Amino acid sequence: MQQTAINHEVSMRQARVLTDPEFKRLLAVVAQRKHAARDRMALMLSHLAGLRVGEIAGLILRDVFEANGDVREQLRVRASITKGGQERVVFMGERLRKEIERYRDAVPHIAQRDADGPLLLTQKHTVFSPNTLCQLMGQLYRVAGLDGASSHSGRRWFITHDVAPNFYPA
């Protein structure tokens, strides 16, 4: 019974908010990975838009791109992927829009994919489940040596930071 209480206590802790140097270190670690563009995009959607991991996993191309391939000024978060079941619109600042452009330019054939297809694909070119993306993000934090960070750390970072220009490396 004591072990159950300990596990419950650990799972109830809030995700750690990264410091600026830790966030930069995380991005440097991600840059060295095989799927760097995808992994960076997932982290940026968490940190710069405050999205939950389930929302990130559920994004489709049409949510972030116009029909002509331009990045939208607002991110549409469909009711079907939100925690509360309510659609919402997230303003995308210039930094996030540039990150999405960077991702679009780095991913081969993204312009030819179906607009209702997923924004992020696994290494096997399948849709991420929220759980699988949560595990990936946890792995990224662990590889960067960021104990206590989780897939919710980006959302907490977004809530507590004023997203200033030139914070992250290009």
Contact in structure between 50 and 77 (CB atoms under 8 Å): no
Q: What is the pTM of this model?
A: 0.80
Q: Nearest 5 degrees, angle CA 47-CA 52-CA 56?
A: 85
pLDDT at residue 116, as a whole number: 93
CB atoms within 10 A of CB 83: 8
Alpha-helix runs per DSSP H in the chain: 2-12, 20-31, 36-49, 53-58, 61-64, 94-106, 130-143, 153-160
Low-confidence ranges of the chain (pLDDT < 70): 1-13, 15, 18, 148-159, 161-170
Torsion of CA 32, 33, 34, 39, to 10 degrees: -120
pLDDT digits over 12-42, tens only? 567 677 677 888 898 999 999 999 999 999 9
